[in-house]
Amino acid sequence: MIYTNHTSNYQNTLHLSDTISYEKSSNLLIQQKILVPVHISRLYDYQVVCTGKDGIINRNDLISQLSKTCQIKVNGTLNMNLNPPDDFQIRSSSSLKYVKLWQVTNVCTLFQNETIAIIIPYRDREKNLQNLLYNLIPLLQRQSILNYKIFISEQQTLGAFNKGRLNNIAFHYIMKTYKPTCVIFHDADLIPENEQNLYTCLTSTDHPIHMSANVRSHINGSYTTIYSFLVGGVLAIRPKRFSVLNGYSNNYFNWGGEDDDMGLRLLSKDICIQRPTSGYYYAATHSGQTRNEKRFKLLFDAVLRQDIDGLSNIDKLAVVANVYEYPLVTWMTIKWIDNYLSVL
């Protein structure tokens, strides 16, 4: 359920009745529209997937074009390799051999106008990142995705992890330097398991694509769609749409909330997502994460903050400290430049 209020220009504050109460200035309202859960526990009942046939992408037509036009065959299920060889070192010139091994030789005209940036927010997940790249890059070769770069956005600042900031500052940087036509935000622990899940924004509608709707956490386990509101994991989106959303919120530290905040941002801007029928991923194991205890308070007024919290203020919160070019990836180290500890 969506709660919509309209306020006059003379109303100074807005009073919301819920388990959490807020007073917000009326100048924070988005076109005099407020979108929050009537009760925060109802958040996960909301739908961000496009209605009807637009909600699910069956890319058989595009896959058929790949076969006919470019002689490319993508067959379906992938066999993961979770044991990369010892010489597969991401931050090493020795990885040049894998660039040559996985070089795209069959250039497909369907992708000639597509430039893709894959952004991976990162800290202390070396094994997860190795496994992802060792499986992802050969997949991009099989799909004949030629014009792409992988950007690792590593948090150097100590303390709580902030995925939203890492995604925003990486996007801010690459739009000045690389200028992609498609951006894919990709968690480091999710490994694609179907080669028909195309790493591109190409659809008939250009809606954002939630590529990772079906996830399993055990090799022999079953897949689950965690909840209908989910847009986290792997999200492909056109830069223009991401800018309309003002990117991710910068306020979610530790684990939980930033992806649900993105769901609310999509709803508030009347942008729905699509999910491919081939969107299957394996969620690799990793060390435990500290839960964000403030996530529900932040979600409650997420849309009130949307236009002032995100890409619009990321340059006041974070900076790209260093950029290193390696054969397989562009590695960015990120530092916070605000006194973020004061808000934790």
Give residue-wise pLDDT tens across range 1-42. Answer: 233 333 322 223 233 333 333 333 343 344 434 455 445 566
Is position 78 within any domain? Answer: yes
Is position 136 within any domain? Answer: yes
- Supply the range of the domain harboring residue 302: 44-336
Length of the chain: 344
Is position 228 within any domain? Answer: yes
Give me the pLDDT at residue 55, please. 84
Q: Which among 198, 180, 181, 184 has a CA at the least distance from the CA of 153?
A: 184
Is position 66 within any domain? Answer: yes
Give me the pLDDT at residue 51, please. 84
Is position 263 within any domain? Answer: yes
Is position 33 within any domain? Answer: no
Give me the pLDDT at residue 41, please. 63
Strands 234-237 and 148-155: unpaired
Give me the pLDDT at residue 44, please. 65
Give me the pLDDT at residue 194, please. 95
Q: How far apart are CA 31 and CA 6, in angstroms?
A: 9
Is position 22 within any domain? Answer: no
Question: Residues of the chain whose pLDDT is less than 70?
Answer: 1-45, 226, 286-287, 340-344
Q: How many domains are there within the chain?
A: 1
Helix (H) or strand (E) holding 65: helix 60-70
Give residue-wise pLDDT tens across range 188-243. Answer: 999 999 999 999 998 878 899 999 999 998 877 888 876 777 899 999 999 999 99
Report helix, strand or coil for 83: coil
Task: Count Cβ atoms within 10 A of the Cβ of residue 292 and give its class: 0-12 exposed, 13-18 middle, 19 or more buried.
Answer: buried
Give the CATH number for residue 122: 3.90.550.10
Give exposure, 6-45, as e/b (b: 16+ Cβ within 10 Å). eeeeeeeebebeeeeeeeeeeeebeeeebbbbeebeebee
Give me the pLDDT at residue 42, please. 66
Is position 15 within any domain? Answer: no
